[in-house]
Every structure is written in structure tokens, then in C-alpha cells.
Amino acid sequence: MSNEKTTTGQASEQEAAPILPIKLEVSVRPIEPKGNLVGFASLKINDSFVIDDFKVLQNDKGIFVGMPSKPDKNSKTGYRDTARPITKEFRAELTEAVTAAYHAEVEKLQTRAAAVAAPEKKSIPEQLAEGAKQAAKENAARPAPAKASKTKSAER
């Protein structure tokens, strides 16, 4: 009988507990595209739980999120999801968070690349001509080598 009261007590405690909003923190690592794979993401939930290896994929309809998975011979696709959202609402929230983080990271990379833009390189013939001019200047600045005296050649 005490077990029933304990169970009932726990149920009422769970009902009384307020439902807190879920805090999602997403980190994205864009990669050089391989097929439709454009990056990977990690998800931190309420600063308490991390799920790695979400795939950021792109197709004709835009960016979408692939769930972490592992190989499974019995599956139709050959893979089985190891983590997945239960509700449509959470899947939409997750996709939105990962997509926003992906776009922000790509924008950051593009900004950094624009700031470090390499100066325009000259063509190879132009580089060779410039090198020849520089070598001619250096050769002109050198003193002429001293001629060998006849005494040294006689000693040999």
C-alpha cells in the first residue's frame, strides 16, 4: 500500500512541476560539399545534454537536417537513426535552429574570406619577366669578378 502512495505522490509532483522552455544551442561545422552533405552540427539541450553528428544536407528544396545514425544491415537504407525528434513541432524547431546556425557560420566564413582576399596574382610570363629584370639589376650592382693572374696558372 505504501508503494501506491509513493507512486501517486510522484505523479502529482510531476503534474505540478512547470514545463520549462527548451534551450537549444547549435554549433555547426560547414564542410566542402560532398554530394548533398554540406556540414555537421551538434546540439546542446538546456546546457545539460549534447547530441553530435547531425548532418546538414542541401537539396533542391533547401537546407534540411539529417539525424545522427549508424550502419544497420536490416534497415532499408542501410542506416538507423540513433537520435530523432518525436514531435513535428520539435523537428521544425530543430531544423530551424540548425539552418539558422549553418547560415550564420557560412556568412562568418565568407566575411573572413573577403577580409583576407589575396591580391591578384600576375601571370607566369609576367612573373618571369619581373624576375629577369630583378636579376639583371642585382647582377649590375655586383662588382666584376677579378681576373685570374698569370702566376696562378703557371703554378698549376
Q: Show the cell assigned to 117.
A: 582576399
Does 72 reside within a domain?
Answer: yes
Mean pLDDT of all residues in 118-140 = 85
Does 79 reside within a domain?
Answer: yes
Amino acid symbol at 13: E
pLDDT at 101: 95
Does 108 reside within a domain?
Answer: yes
Mean pLDDT of all residues in 45-65 = 92
Q: Is the pLDDT of residue 35 over 80?
A: yes
pLDDT at 5: 42
Q: Is the pLDDT of residue 94 over 50?
A: yes
Mean pLDDT of all residues in 118-138 = 84
Higher per-residue confidence, 145 vs 137: 137
Band of pLDDT at residue 87, cut at 50, 70 and 90: very high
The total number of structural domains in the chain stands at: 1
Does 120 reside within a domain?
Answer: no
Does 127 reside within a domain?
Answer: no
Does 142 reside within a domain?
Answer: no
Q: Is the pLDDT of residue 27 over 90?
A: yes
Q: Show the cell assigned to 41.
A: 552540427
Largest CA distance in the chain: 124
Q: Domain range for residue 36?
A: 19-115
Does 39 reside within a domain?
Answer: yes
Q: The CATH number of the domain where 61 resides is what? A: 3.30.1120.40
Which among 69, 45, 41, 34 has a CA at the least distance from the CA of 55?
41
Whether the CB-CB separation of 41 and 29 falls below 8 Å is answered with yes
How many Cβ atoms from other residues are within 10 Å of residue 8's Cβ? 10
Instruction: Print the SS3 string covering the chain.
Output: CHHHHHHHHHHHHHHHCCCCCCCEEEEEEEEEEECCEEEEEEEEECCCEEEEEEEEEEECCEEEEECCEEECCCCCCCEEECCCCCCHHHHHHHHHHHHHHHHHHHHHHHHHHHHCCCCCCCCHHHHHHHHHHHHHHHHHHCCCCCCCCHHHHHHC
Does 139 reside within a domain?
Answer: no
pLDDT at 4: 44
State residue 50 phi and psi, 5-degree precision: -115, 135
Burial of 33 from C-beta contacts in 10 A (0-12 / 13-18 / 19+): exposed
